[in-house]
Structure 1
Amino acid sequence: MPLLLTPLRQRVSSLQEGVFYGWWMVAGGFLIQTVLGLFMFHAFGFYVERLEEEFKWSKTTFSLAFAMTRIESGVLGPIQGWAIDRFGPRIMIRIGIATTGIGFILFSFVDSVTTFFLTYFLIAVGASMAGFVTLVVAVVNWFEKKRSMALGLMSAGFSVGGLLVFLVVLAMDEFGWRATSLVAGIVILIVGQIVASFIHHRPEDRGETIDGEPVPEAPARPGLAGGPVVIPASEDFTTGEALRSPSFWFISIGHGAAVLIIGAFMVHLVLHLENLGYSAFISSLIVLLMTAFQLVGQIGGGYLGDRLNKRLMLAGCMVGHVVALLLVTYSAGFWMIVLFAVINGIAWGTRGPMQQALRADYFGRRDFGKIMGFSSLIVMFGMMSGPIIAGAMADAFGDYERGFTVLAVIAGLGTIFFAMAGPPQHPTGPIWYKRWPLVRRLTFQERLA
């Protein structure tokens, strides 16, 4: 593989001249997000439909499988975050891609609930290692001023995968879900390993700077008659400092409330639309429409996130999630399904990269992997609870109306938590002085006075 990649690396090296390498990182993340989004996340509901038809398993079975993988993601999150910060994203992507690809190949041989759980768990572990968290950390390390836009463009690969999901549906109809899974595993292995070879941890590793800008000269020390003086201090929080900040918890809980809905949709949306009388093909078109507007949200939200208040925009996205969920729950016509897809797509696309940019803005990039890892411990409760609540109540009452309504009420709280997540105060400054004859830091005792 290294010998085969040498000509490709040389071609990329010639193309990248004059282009900040951070944008190549965004492109690599985009491709990985596209592949994982296409074959795993967006296609999972269609796999569920085929498996339910073939094996007659309950909706709760699929919900528990999905929840099990979310527990894995949450529990391993801090370890994964530490590993990314310590060893860099490239090795994590290589291991994750290999695990995911092998998992899909084995998934094509599923013949029982046990083998379904085991292979899906393997796929989920690999996708977690190679996917969103790892890629976000990689991009955050390269950008500051254009961080929201970079994350939005990278995350757009997930939406592009959704736009292509109809190809997976057609493949399942033509060749069966087993052959589709086998091919998916092979494609993931090839594309993922190629892209991983171009991923670098930090711009300093390549002799570059964050945002690709020249290192600014140190400003001259202002005179005593000058205005306010800021004592330079690291803006990056340690993991412990971030965990002691209320904003860390508010953002994480808000994130968990959002994925409460997203998790339920990933498992149950296709089945819910089927209950409403729509075919698998129409359902795939709804998913296609939703992901098209998710793409709009990712790019538009990335642009606006570098210019407007991210915290208030996130609160608005939560309102959109709740409204969309109620529309699809109490649908009285196809137009409400379409409106659901538009609103939820924009809210999802805007919120995803923006909440990661807000975390990076607040806590810096030094321990960002570990901070995201600990956040995943909180977020996992939302991601695993949504499918379980929706699936269990659907099995009990025969439809998704009650379950989706409960999720809408709980998710509405996310609006409040995002609105409360103001900028954290760094424990070590900076401190402003206006009329001090000498420049110095306040002592700990003076801070408490």
Structure 2
Amino acid sequence: MTARGARRPKIFYGWYIAAAGFVSQFMFGVLMFHSFGTYVALMQADFGWSRTTFSFAFAAQRIESGVLGPIQGWVIDTYGPRKVMIFGIVLFSVGFVLLSRVESLPLFYISFTLIAIGSSLGSFLSVLVAIVNWFRRRRVLATGVLTMGFAVGGLTATPMALLIEGIGWRDAAFASGVVSLVVGIPLALVVRHRPEPYGMLPDGVQSSSLVAGEPEQIEWSMTAREALTTSAFWFLALGQASALLVIGALMVHLVIYIHEDLGYTLGLAALAVTIQTFGQIIGQLLSTAFGDRVPKRPFVILALLGHSAAMLLLALADGLPMIYVAVVINGIAWGSRGPLMMGLRADYFGPRRFGTIMGFSSLVIMLG
């Protein structure tokens, strides 16, 4: 950290926040999102619970994320992301420890709820709010660094599945709780809400206004109420809802569709998920490289059309080549759309109440 007027550090502190976000997204992706299918399969074998039982838990998590979104966003905007992250990481850790002790369905629902709420509070939105405040001209690049962690974590799905199966899901869950606490808390301590209290400006620029004795230019921002009255808010929220509908459908049904409906081996079906992850990484690399230099809106529209094209190709697919082409297109659209949409929101609505506005967007997406 540095005071205004002191020598500017070689690496702007905002990049440390983006790096901490990358690691946190990687951690949450590896421990929960990319591994929970393995937990479900092993717990189903142990307890004999139906798929509907687990589907209900995931559906409840989506509802929780949408309903609590505005509250979470307001808390982050008001009290800062670091405190929210620490609280979320503790909940996430406790949830996994409880999961390792599950013997009944009610305890499973309690533990999964804690994990879901903890992951929501402890990572993406909290760091994203900080990034939007610490960056202006390079927001898409910084956001891409953040989201890349989740995509890279997807590459660990197969070894994590083998590890969880090898040591047992209970020991894996307990270890996940410990790891998330030991790794997550130091990451949260890196995150700061805004650069100005630490004598810095967004992007690490030096303020010429200080030399001239003029007031600094503050980026214009909307309140959440003002944002809700704009067509941009609704178009972005509904566009993201449609994209997540495609992504969610593929996450649940892609492997089953290839394996059971088309008759390919489980290995070839799982390969489609890996190929999609590589496509997602390519999309994120493209958006982070060019997203701050080109108009965002046309490329967001192109990404949404990519999701639609992927679903059409999958519906018409009669063999693996067309399926693999479809998942590459969907992965690139997925990876590029996220950072661009976040950057576009920040451009439209500004940083000051970005968390609250994102929270209301989550509510609209859930209802959609």
Structure 2, gaps ≥5 residues long: 2-7
Q: 1:234 to 1:345 in 2, by over 3 A?
A: closer
What letter corresponds to residue 363 of structure 2 in structure 1?
L
Distance in 2 (alpha carbons) for counterparts of 1:182 and 1:279:
32
| Aligned position for 1:386 | none
Q: How does 1:254-333 map to 2 (within 5 A)?
A: 254-276=239-261, 277=263, 281-333=267-319
Counterpart in 1 of 2:337? 351
RMSD, matched Cα: 2.4
**Structure 1: which 5+ runs fail to align?**
1-8, 10-15, 221-231, 383-449
Partner of 1:334: 320
- Residue 157 of structure 1 deviates from its aligned partner by 0.3
TM-score under structure 1 length normalisation: 0.74
Closer, same or farther: CA 82–149 of 1 in aligned 2, 3 Å: same
Equivalent residue of 2:62, what SS?
helix
The one-letter code sitting in structure 2 at the alignment partner of 1:131 is: S
Sort the Cα spacing of 1:319 and 1:332 in 2 relative to 1 into closer, same or farther, 3 A: same
Contact in 1 for aligned 2:42/2:165 (Cα 8 Å): no
Amino acid at match of 1:356: M
Q: How far does the alpha carbon of each residue in 1:87-115 deviate from its partner, in whole angstroms, 9 at most, with x for none? A: 11111111111111111222223334333
**Could you say which residue in structure 2 is the equivalent of 1:238?**
223
- Determine the structure 2 residue equivalent to 1:51: 43
Structure with higher Rg: it is 1
- 5 Å-filtered alignment, 1:407-446, equals none
What is the identity, as a one-letter code, of the residue corresponding to 2:235?
Answer: F
1:251 and 2:243 aligned: no
CA distance in 2, matches of 1:116, 1:328: 34
Name the CA distance, whole Å, in 2 between partners of 1:172 and 1:30.
Answer: 23
Asked if structure 2 preserves the Cα contact closer than 8 Å seen for 1:107 and 1:120, the reply is yes
Q: Which residue of 2 aligns with 1:84?
A: 76
Deviations 1:224-258 (A, max 9, x none): xxxxxxxx996211111111111111111111111
Task: For 2:346 and 2:168, locate their aligned partners in 1 and report how far apart those are by CA, in whole Å.
Answer: 43
Give the Cα–Cα distance (whole angstroms) in 2 for the partners of residues 30 and 72 of structure 1. 24
Aligned residues: 357
For 2:267 and 2:357, locate their aligned partners in 1 and report how far apart those are by CA, in whole Å. Answer: 40
Of 95-104 and 47-56, deviating more is: 47-56
User: Any conservation in 2 of the 1:163–1:288 contact (CA below 8 Å)?
Assistant: yes
Aligned to 2:207, what secondary structure does the other structure show? Answer: coil
Instruction: State how far apart, in whole Å, the 2-side matches of 1:287 and 1:347 are.
Output: 15
CA contact (8 A) 2:127 2:191 kept: no
**Displacement of 1:281 after TM fit?**
4.8
Q: 1:378 to 1:340 in 2, by over 3 A?
A: same
For residues 60-139 of structure 1, the aligned pairs below 5 Å read 60-139=52-131
Q: Give me the identity figure in percent.
A: 45
In structure 1, the residue matched to 2:187 is 195
Q: What CA distance in whole angstroms lies between the structure 2 residues aligned with 1:152 and 1:322? A: 23
| Contact residue 48 and residue 267 of structure 1 kept, 8 A | no
Q: What amino acid maps onto 1:334 in structure 2?
A: L
Checking the alignment, whether the CA contact within 8 Å between 1:45 and 1:270 is kept in structure 2 is: no
Q: Residue 217 of structure 1 aligns to a residue in which SS?
A: helix
Against the structure 1 CA distance between its residues 50 and 31, is the aligned structure 2 distance closer, same or farther, given a 3 Å change threshold? Answer: same
